[in-house]
Amino acid sequence: MGHTGAVILAAGASRRLGTPKQQVRFQQESLLQRIIHTAQQTSAQPVVVVLGAFADAILPDLQDSEASVVINPDWESGMGSSIQTGLRELIRIDDDVSNVLLLLCDQPFITPALLQTLISTHHQHNKGITACTYGPVTGSPALFSSKYFPALLTLAEPEGARKIIRQHQDDINTVPFPEGIIDIDTPEDLEKLR
């Protein structure tokens, strides 16, 4: 059955938002602290956080965290490089990990229960990918078995893991997450959240 580790992708520059989304406050903590705490309340261990833009400003916020932090020096090339950086670090820490849960810090309504449902659904059904659905989207949070590690480790830089999801529709379990449609990309998104 193996076990699941988590990679939190938090390396982006939040250009459309105009301020580091990792540090946006929601319900008394930053969005990044919130997703770390959420992941740590599940069976997914270890938890790796990938930083890039604003790493120097964000690191002090994480000094009390038990999550492993890795900095992607190539973060500007896109999400693919952050997935590669995070997965390499996860395997380095725990070479026995058999699944990776990919998380973004800008989906504020992810809960421990949702993530645990993803993990248990993944273990109950013999599929290589378990992903969330919201609106027309099948995407993050998403869990990939180790058979997809080579594909994740060779993603072209601008691409996220959704490309792999699109290519393997016959190997996917889905979990409904209607609130997943809410993410924080623009000042208007932030206003709506508050």
CATH number at residue 68: 3.90.550.10
Q: What is the average pLDDT across 106-125?
A: 93
Which domain does 18 fall in, by range? 3-193
CA 179 to the chain's CA centroid? 16
Phi, psi of 184 (to 5 degrees): -105, 95
Distance CA 150, CA 4 (A): 16
Q: How many separate domains does the chain show? A: 1
- Give me the amino acid identity at 176: P
Range scoring the smallest mean pLDDT among 103-117, 139-153, 179-193: 179-193
Nearest C-alpha neighbor of 68 from the set 146, 141, 6 = 6
Decide: helix, strand or coil at residue 4: strand
pTM: predicted TM-score of the whole model, two decimal places: 0.93
pLDDT at 18: 74
